[in-house]
Amino acid sequence: MPLYKSLTVADTTKILIWKIEETINELNTNVLLTENSQARLNGMKSQLHQRGFLSVRHLLKEVGYSDADLIYDAYGKPHLKDGKFISITHSYTFSGIIISDEQPVGIDIEKQREKILKIAHKFTPFEEYKTIANHEALVSKLTIVWGAKESLYKIYGKKSLLFLHHIFIDDFNFADEKTTGAIRYEGKTASYQIFFLEFEGFTCVYAI
């Protein structure tokens, strides 16, 4: 089973990343799904989504959980029954989870794609990035910003946030592999640490 990467962020926070190489039948082996999860799986039209869904259940097994330990609230945000915090992501051939004993966390994996240049103005003040002359670096930076905002959106866990108007990511250098961000909504500000890494044309961002 291809556990691709395991990161210990702190004593109480861990990240696991899976490289999805198996067939659906292989991923369906040795994984017990609840009736609700099986119905969700059956309702997915894309094999890519099915494989992502099942690979996340294997990641849960890696840290001692089963599908039954995972519950979703009314907004679709995942929670663990034991009260620990979890966030989930999958994109094409990678999936990931972050689990923390003590604090809300968010994670996002994105494939680095040219498409992000066309939609950047919808989630960040694009003029701030026009000084980046290197095309690949621009795609990389915007993908990190998107992943950071997605991670904070997952932490907040409700549908009302707008990426452009409520979630803010501070500028960063690639070499630092970290930055800070904030959610500013309804007169309140919550600040977070954000970390990122790149591998095989993908970007993983996680927030604490």
| Domain of residue 63, CATH code | 3.90.470.20
- Choosing from 62, 80, 101, the residue where a domain stops is 101
Whether residue 82 is found in the same domain as residue 51: yes
Phi, psi values for residue 145, rounded to 5° = -60, -45
- Asked whether residue 113 falls in the same domain as residue 192, the answer is yes
pLDDT digits (tens, 9 = 90+) for 44-53: 999 999 999 9
Domain count, the chain: 2
Indicate the residue among 75, 101, 127 that finishes a domain. Answer: 101
Least confident of 12-16, 76-80, 129-133: 129-133
Q: Is a pLDDT exceeding 90 seen at residue 10?
A: no
Q: Are residues 116 and 48 in the same domain?
A: no
> In sequence order, what are the residues at sequence separation of 6 or more whose Cβ sits closer than 8 angstroms to the Cβ of residue 37?
53, 57, 67
- 92 and 46 part of one domain: yes
**Cα diameter, the chain:** 52
Inter-residue contact 197 to 206 (CB < 8 Å): no
pLDDT band at 1 (very low <50, low <70, confident <90, very high): low
Distances (CA, A) of 188 to 9, 97, 111, 156, 207: 27, 28, 32, 12, 18
The band of 150, judged by pLDDT with boundaries at 50, 70 and 90, is very high
Residue written as tokens 């003040």? 125
Range with the largest mean pLDDT of 7-11, 82-86, 116-120: 82-86
State whether 85 and 172 are in the same domain: no
Same domain, 23 and 58: yes
Query: What is the distance between the alpha carbons of residues 67 and 44, in angstroms, rounded to a whole number?
Result: 17
Do 189 and 124 share a structural domain? yes
Q: Are residues 86 and 148 in the same domain?
A: no
Closest by CA to 145, choosing from 115, 177, 170, 117, is: 170
Question: Residues 83, 123: one domain?
Answer: no
Q: Identify whether residues 124 and 92 lie together within a single domain.
A: no
- Average the pLDDT over each of 4-18, 116-130, 168-182 and give the range with the smallest value: 116-130
Host domain of residue 186: 108-207
